[in-house]
Amino acid sequence: MKRAAALLAWACLPGQAGAAAQPRPEASLRSYLQHQLGEDGRDARYASAFADLNGDGRPEAIVYLMSGTLCGTGGCVLLVLTPQGESWQQVGRLTVVNPPVRLLATQSHGWRDLGVHIAGGGTRARDVRVRFSGRAYPSNPSLLPSHRAGRATPSRTLIIDDDPGRPLF
């Protein structure tokens, strides 16, 4: 009993609460998106996934945004965000993306490659590999060559093609 009380007292000391005191990534992500989109995001829905893209042990956020202002005939916006303090920093804003969004086993400049689906907007439907340039992920994946993910390129689906998303506000 004394040991349990001592552990409880230690956990209540400033700086000892650990992960419990940190905001959940999903909560800080939603707050970041609301701030970034503001009134333009009132009708937005989003689907998100977390994966360590750069091997630093902290998960990045991959966010598929859906709304009348963020989607067109070719698809919607996909954000790639890396943690920065208690918030996020954008390392990719891809337009004309359709799910599924996949995490590929390959890397470019130390960051994992992503697989996205391109369709509509006058382009031929296909999957493409999106590679980190050393600074960011490219903004227009419809300009990239086709990529067929198969056994040679294992992948994990991050955002499925029929995810309805969650309301941003």
- pTM of structure: 0.83
Nearest Cα neighbor of 154 from 98, 112, 117, 106 is 106
What is the span of the domain harbouring residue 28? 23-167
Would you say residue 84 lies in a domain?
yes
* Per-residue confidence (pLDDT) for residue 14, from 0 to 100: 39
Quick check: helix, strand or coil at residue 154?
A: coil
Query: What is the pLDDT, as a whole number, of residue 161?
Result: 93
Q: Is the residue at 8 inside a domain?
A: no
Instruction: Give me the number of domains the chain comprises.
Output: 1
pLDDT at 53 exceeding the cut of 80: yes
User: Of how many residues is the chain composed?
Assistant: 169
Q: List, in sequence order, every beta strand (DSSP E) within 22-86.
A: 45-51, 60-66, 71-72, 75-84
Report which of 41, 51, 87, 80 is spatially closest to residue 63, judged by C-alpha positions. 80
The number of beta carbons lying within 10 Å of the beta carbon of residue 38 is 8
* Residue with the two structure tokens 């829905």: 45
Q: What is the DSSP letter of 141?
A: G
Query: Would residue 10 count as lying in a domain?
Result: no
